[in-house]
């Protein structure tokens, strides 16, 4: 297990280029299985989760040709479906939450899919019912065995288009069902579909491959099945979670940072939420400039009541940035209620922030009230452990803003979602040593 040793209290200055979007990459990479023709993907982030999925595709027989550091050409002309029954596949796929999205394309093209119970962040219950209920509506048969920690099997001789109303607007569930439906017989309608930019990107890519998807960007998708898909070229969006993390980092460390090539129109309410925390930021073309700020003040509602920042399905605020908003608020002037609706364990990292000197009341597993210190008291360095990707980066931001030295253990969690984060931040003035 690796660790970061962070010397806090340093002001940063410079430019940061966000990586390709992690959550988009996991969907797009699974989609290469839908065709035997070459598919070239650009702006692939070099992070643990994505690299593990690329290796898993290679084990399935997908040929990979490196074009550049962030571009790969994939050819899934000779996929070994029997590998899905192997012990090696069970172990590798179980370690990766995104592996569940292999099911949709495998079912569409090869009429069968296998997946062990997937891993990922330990942030609470993350059910898969939406995926399998949707597959069954398309005509697939689903079975589950508890041996070896749980194994899911989906088989379908012939997928048929249907109407389905998803029980939740699941991003991965929508992506999985979309990929299964593009080669189903007839028309499929998915209502209450997730409509995040990641899904919009996937829909656009599939349409370029020959799919017939309408309603892109809405929660009502209509898919007319086609017999086959073709090769294409696709460039991923910059990672909106990393962009939000850098905004919070700049505010907490009183740093002047320019975030380059942000695809600002695809960020939704993210810039406005940080503005409500009192953070000045300027949109300069497609860049976001965050000036060094001595103080920032949290807005209140018009009636004077305490601001609430809560997650919601897109175009609401993404749950992946609530940890960043929470840590950023610890040095603001004012009070904010953070309401994490989706996951019941994602706020438990606040005990480490409290130990560092933050004033936070954990109301229940879903809500925390942050009373900003307004820089009257600086956070202090401690030793802590990263419980998940987003909490890990929130703790890293806290350590960079605090006084003294902090140690963050289990940084493999951070590496799952942030590409060479220590190297990139050190280049603009941070002091992070990887142990």
The count of other CB atoms within 10 Å of the CB of residue 335 is 16
Pairing between β-strand 212-214 and β-strand 112-116 as defined by DSSP bridges: unpaired
In which residue are the tokens 């307004």 written?
Answer: 374
CB atoms within 10 A of CB 285: 9
Token pair recorded at residue 105: 């394309």
- C-alpha–C-alpha distance, residues 88 and 94, integer Å: 10
- Dihedrals φ, ψ of 360, to 5°? -135, 135
3-state DSSP helix/strand/coil % of the chain, to nearest 5: 35, 25, 40
How far does CA 387 lie from the centroid of its chain? 16
Judged by DSSP in three states, 414 sits in helix
Q: Is 157 annotated as a binding residue?
A: no
Distance CA 98, CA 23 (A): 9
114 annotated among ligand-binding-site residues: no
State yes or no: 320 annotated in a binding site.
yes
Q: 430 Cβ partners below 8 Å, 6+ apart? A: 6, 10, 12, 400, 422
The answer to the question of whether 63 is labelled as a binding residue is: no
From CA 356, how far away is CA 407, in angstroms rounded? 12
> What's the CA gap between 58 and 380, in Å, rounded?
45
CB 50 within 8 A of CB 244: no
The answer to whether 421 touches 394, Cβ cutoff 8 Å, is: no
69 is in an annotated binding site: no
Residue 258: Cβ-neighbour burial (10 angstroms; 0-12, 13-18, 19+): buried
In 168-185, which positions are buried (b, 16+ CB within 10 angstroms) versus exposed (e)?
Answer: ebbbbbbbbbbbbbbbbe
What is the separation of C-alpha 266 from the centre of its chain, rounded to a whole number of angstroms? 15
Alpha helices by DSSP H, listed for 13-60, are 22-31, 48-59
Rounded Cα gap, residues 423 and 419, in angstroms: 9
CA-wise closest residue to 195 among 177, 222, 214, 221: 221
Q: Among the options 69, 78, 121, 303, which is catalytic? A: 121
CB 112 within 8 A of CB 155: yes
Active-site residue flag, 121: yes
Binding residue ranges for UDP-N-acetyl-alpha-D-glucosamine: 97, 320, 342
Q: Active-site positions?
A: 121
Binding residue ranges: 22-23, 97, 320, 342
Binding residue ranges for phosphoenolpyruvate: 22-23
């Amino acid at each position: 297990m690796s660790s970061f040793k962070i010397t806090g209290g340093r002001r940063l200055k410079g430019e940061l280029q966000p990586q390709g979007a992690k959550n988009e990459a996991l969907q797009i990479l699974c989609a290469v299985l839908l065709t035997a023709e070459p598919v070239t993907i650009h702006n692939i982030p070099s992070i643990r989760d994505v690299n593990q999925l690329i290796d898993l595709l290679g084990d399935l027989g997908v040929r990979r040709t490196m074009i550049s550091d962030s571009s790969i050409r994939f050819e899934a002309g000779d996929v070994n479906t029997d590998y899905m029954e192997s012990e090696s596949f069970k172990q590798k796929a179980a370690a990766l939450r995104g592996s569940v999205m292999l099911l949709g394309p495998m079912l569409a093209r090869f009429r069968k899919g296998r997946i062990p119970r997937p891993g990922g962040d330990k942030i609470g219950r993350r059910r898969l019912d939406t995926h399998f209920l949707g597959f069954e509506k398309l005509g697939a048969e689903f079975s589950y065995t508890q041996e070896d920690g749980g194994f899911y099997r989906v088989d379908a001789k012939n997928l048929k288009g249907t109407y389905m109303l998803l029980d939740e607007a699941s991003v991965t569930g929508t992506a999985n069902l979309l990929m299964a439906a593009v080669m189903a017989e007839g028309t499929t309608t998915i209502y209450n579909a997730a409509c995040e930019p990641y899904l919009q990107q996937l829909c656009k890519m599939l349409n370029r491959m020959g799919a017939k998807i309408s309603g892109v960007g809405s929660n009502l998708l209509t898919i007319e099945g086609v017999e086959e898909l073709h090769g294409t070229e696709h460039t991923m969006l910059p990672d909106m979670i990393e962009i939000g993390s850098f905004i919070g980092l700049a505010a907490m460390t009183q740093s002047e940072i320019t975030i380059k090539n942000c695809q600002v129109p695809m960020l939704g309410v993210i810039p406005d939420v940080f503005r409500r925390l009192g953070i000045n930021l300027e949109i300069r073309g497609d860049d976001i400039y965050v000036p060094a700020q001595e103080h920032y003040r949290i807005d209140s509602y018009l009636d004077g009541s305490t601001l609430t920042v809560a997650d919601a399905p897109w175009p609401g605020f993404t749950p992946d940035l609530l940890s960043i908003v929470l840590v950023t608020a610890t040095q603001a002037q004012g009070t904010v209620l953070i309401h994490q609706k989706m996951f019941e364990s994602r706020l438990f990292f606040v005990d480490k922030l409290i130990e560092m000197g933050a004033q936070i009341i954990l109301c229940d597993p879903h809500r925390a009230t942050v009373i900003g210190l307004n820089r009257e008291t600086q956070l202090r360095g401690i030793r802590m452990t990263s419980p998940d990707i987003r909490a890990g980066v929130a703790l890293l931001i806290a350590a960079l803003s605090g006084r003294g030295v902090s140690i963050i253990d289990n940084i493999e969690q951070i590496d799952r979602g942030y590409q060479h984060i220590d190297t990139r931040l050190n280049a603009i003035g941070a002091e992070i040593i990887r142990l």
